Structure 1
Amino acid sequence: MKKIYQLLLILGLVMTPFFTQAHVKWFTKVTPQKETIEHILSSEFMGLALLAAVVLAALTLVIPKMAEWEPVKKIEDRLSSLRKYSRHLLKYGTAVALMIQIINGTLFAPEFHIHNTLVVVLTWVVIGLLLIPHHIATKLGSAILLGLFVYVTIHQGIFHMLDYGFYVAIIGVLLVGKTKFEHIGFPFLYLGTGLSLCWVAVEKWVYPGMALDIIANHHVPTFGFEPALFLVMAAFIEFVVGYLLVVGILNRVLGFVVTCIFILTTMLFGMTEVVGHFMIHIVLIIFIIEGVSFYNPPIKMRKTKLDQFIFVFLNFIFVLATFVLIYYRFA
């Protein structure tokens, strides 16, 4: 069992350079051209979908065994002791992320350039409020940040802003702090971040031309695979990452692996990567610290291992189909 887990982890590490393509709109000027649905649902796509569903379902059997290992228990205990800092990390991390963005002349993402003086002033007000160590200031800053997100959404469109839906989750966590709804904050963050990653992954299937342009111009390694096939595989891994966060599987290991990969991609894309993904780094570090102690993930609603296996397998296929169809319809 240990060897199986190590093999899966190594496979994930080898495959995850796809994150260099995350948010492809940041790194290419190619005009988006929608792929046909027949081409998207290729035999390779269908085969990888089934393989991913089986692997995810198998994790429901592997993870409980792994949790019983003594070294894992020690690491879990050490990380659990840091949970008291999670909200502070999110609060001040958001302030730093906004600071990096506004200095770069953008807000929420590298492609959203800000030319409105009032927006710049309000963003600095948000940063100042978040740096004040009091929950009232945090709530005021979060409320203004929500207003800024709505402002950018009005100008960029809801469909485009779905890529950055995790900011709504972050704002939600900050708003409910020190209230009776505080316990739902981090589960909402898991859900929002997971769904955002799934949404961004589908973009690479529907508009493959942009990502293929990045692979060619930035010399992204494809490990011997054809670029088109590598892109399909890469998007699947990214979709799986988001799905894992939503269903509550392997969150601490997942957060560690993805954070390391995001750091490595900085060598390819430099400052744009830092501006765009700094907030994601903060969120993933929080996932590493928190685990799922506060989160009653959907998989726990199924009591037996067989029920969990079947649930994850079928649910993944359903979620994948739903995302692809919705994105394709409104893209």
Structure 2
Amino acid sequence: MLGRVRNYACGVSPACVSSGFSMRRLVVRLRSISPALALAPIVALVGTAPASAHVIWFCAFDVAGQPRGLDQVLCVNFEWLTGLALACLMAGCMTEGTPLGTALLNALDRVTTRIRTDTELLVRATLGFFLVSLWGLGGTILTPELKTDAAWIPWLQLAMATCLIWRRTMPVTAAGIVFLFGFGTWQYGLFHMADYPVFLGVAAYLVLSSLGITPFGIRPLDVVRYTAAVTLMWASVEKWAYPEWTAPLLAAKPQMTMGATPELFMKSAGVIEFTLAFSLIWTPLVRRVAALILTGIFVSAVFEFGKIDAIGHSGIIVVLLGIAADDARRAVRVRDVALAPAWYGGALAASLALYYVSHAALFGGLSALPVI
């Protein structure tokens, strides 16, 4: 992001600087271009869109299979990639407390006003589209790869979509989502459903929004933001643990790697996704820009993978738009920058440990726990 800032800063002529171009005028100028500045990282990362599609919707997979060992995941390339990602995260935090950061936040507030005002309506409409689409597809539990022969599930999903019309019946839809999540867990196992905790976050959002409550001061949007972050962190670990799942896709579409080896591409895609997911729980500007970048990536993936991807990711896309439009602010302190490496490293270590330990416990026995 700072690279983009420098590019725009270079657009200020030396003559203007030498003639005493004031900071105030610079901020005014940056405000006029900051919407494009905020969207620039989306263009830069749009090439990673195919890697962010949920690969198990389009390729053969085996959740019970042995994941790649941590000694292969935690290699030199991985360390360099995470170090670069952490540097970008800290740079974003440092920018946030400057006049430039304030200008960016003000610009985001202006261009997302309508989304912010109608976030709940957009969530209800998009979720209604999602549920009606599942009813049309038939034989699907919440996501394209969770198949079922139960004929009543599509009709339940249609009834859930109907309940979104009225605000008072939104908790009924939420209860349906929780029930289907539990049904999917019963059919496919808890480890498999760990890919989708964002559904539980959406259910909580519907209930809290309908009742107008904020337990412990946590807003409905915050709940779904946290679950979206956890969902994407888990998915990023999956890219490192099972890169072979994507191999057929990369073989069919070699342009996706942008000249990198498939191994490096999958590590990079996982690091980008994990860092953006972690950013969703960090400071206001960082999380809003991360939400915009993720939205651009998911939308771009639709053009590559078609309507199945559009249906499956419609819910998280609207959630990300809501996060990008959220104008809640707080003062960014020095410790937000200083503690970023510790929190990022802790989240990374916890995600890797939880994935590998839970997989070994469920599929390989405790004796198969990996050595870290």
- Could you tell me which residue of structure 1 aligns to residue 305 of structure 2? 269
User: Percent identity between the aligned chains?
Assistant: 22
Cα 1:24–1:84 shift into 2, 3 Å: same
Gaps in structure 2 of 5+ consecutive residues: 8-36, 360-372
Q: 1:234: how far off? A: 0.9
Rounded Cα–Cα distance in structure 2 between residues aligned with 1:226 and 1:320: 24
* Pairing 1:311–2:335 present: no
Tell me: CA distance 1:223–1:199, structure 2 relative to 1, closer, same or farther (3 Å).
same
Higher mean Cα deviation, 184-193 or 21-30?
A: 21-30
1:28 is paired with a residue whose SS is: coil
Alignment of 1:56-67 (within 5 A): 56-65=89-98, 66-67=100-101
Matched, 1:256 2:289: no
Aligned to 2:324: 288
Q: Confirm whether residue 216 of structure 1 aligns to residue 247 of structure 2.
A: no
Q: Is the 8 A contact 2:226 2:281 kept in 1?
A: yes
Of the three residues 9, 19, 26, the one matched with 2:57 is 26
SS in 2 for 1:246: coil
Aligned-partner Cα distance in 1 for 2:75–2:273:
18
Q: What is the TM-score normalised by the length of structure 1?
A: 0.88
CA deviation map 1:133-181 (0-9, x unaligned) = 3x32111222222212211121111111121111100100111123333
TM-score of the two chains, using structure 2 as the length reference: 0.78
Matched residues in 1 for 2:58 and 2:126: separation? 24
Q: Which digits, 9 at most, give the CA deviation of each residue in 1:221-274, with x for residues without a partner?
A: 222211111110111000011101022352333333322222222222112211
Aligned residue in 2 for 1:55: 88
When residues 223 and 292 of structure 1 are mapped into structure 2, their CA distance, relative to the original with a 3 A threshold, is farther
2:287–2:324 CA contact under 8 A, matched in 1:
yes
Q: Equivalences for 1:153-168 in 2 at 5 Å? A: 153-168=185-200
The alpha-carbon distance between structure 1 residues 11 and 232, as it changes in their structure 2 partners (threshold 3 A), is: farther
One-letter amino acid of the structure 1 residue matched with residue 123 of structure 2:
L
Partner of 1:246: 281
Q: CA deviation at 1:202?
A: 0.3
Structure 1 CA distance for aligned equivalents of residues 214 and 55 of structure 2 = 36
What's the counterpart of residue 17 of structure 1? 47
1:324 corresponds to 2:339: no
| One-letter code aligned to 1:274 | A
Matched letter for residue 260 of structure 1 = G
Match of 2:19 in 1: none
Q: Which amino acid aligns with 2:50?
A: T
User: By how many angstroms is 1:83 displaced?
Assistant: 2.4
CA contact (8 A) 1:215 1:221 kept: yes
Contact 2:108 2:325 in 1 (8 A): no
Matched ranges for 1:30-41 at <5 A: 31=62, 32-41=65-74
How many Å separate the matches in 2 of 1:240 and 1:121?
A: 38
Please tell me whether the aligned partners of residues 46 and 296 of structure 2 are also in contact (alpha carbons under 8 angstroms): no
Partner of 2:228: 193
Name the counterpart of 2:151. 117
The yes-or-no answer on 1:228 pairing with 2:263 is: yes
Equivalent residue, structure 2, for 1:95: 128
1:311 shift after superposition: 0.8
1:110 is paired with a residue whose SS is strand
Asked if the contact 1:251/1:291 (under 8 Å) is kept, the reply is no
The equivalent position to 1:46 in structure 2, one of 74, 79, 86, is 79
Which range moved further: 229-238 or 6-15?
6-15
- Shift of residue 72 of structure 1? 5.3
* 1:49-75 C-alpha deviation (Å, 9 max, x unpaired): 222222212211012333333x75244
| Counterpart Cα distance in 1 of 2:296 and 2:275 | 17
One-letter code aligned to 1:216: A
Q: 1:147 aligns with which of 166, 179, 197?
A: 179
- For these two proteins, the number of residue pairs brought into alignment is 320
**Structure with the greater alpha carbon radius of gyration:** 2
Deviation (angstroms), 1:40: 0.9
- Matching residue's letter, 1:328: Y
Say which structure, 1 or 2, has more relative contact order (CA 8 Å, 6+ apart): 1
Q: Corresponding residue for 2:169?
A: 137
* Deviation sequence 1:87-118 (CA, Å, 0-9, x none): 11112211111111221222321101232122
Deviation (angstroms), 1:304: 3.4
Partner deviation per Cα, 1:269-290 (whole Å, 9 max, x = no partner): 1122112211122112212222
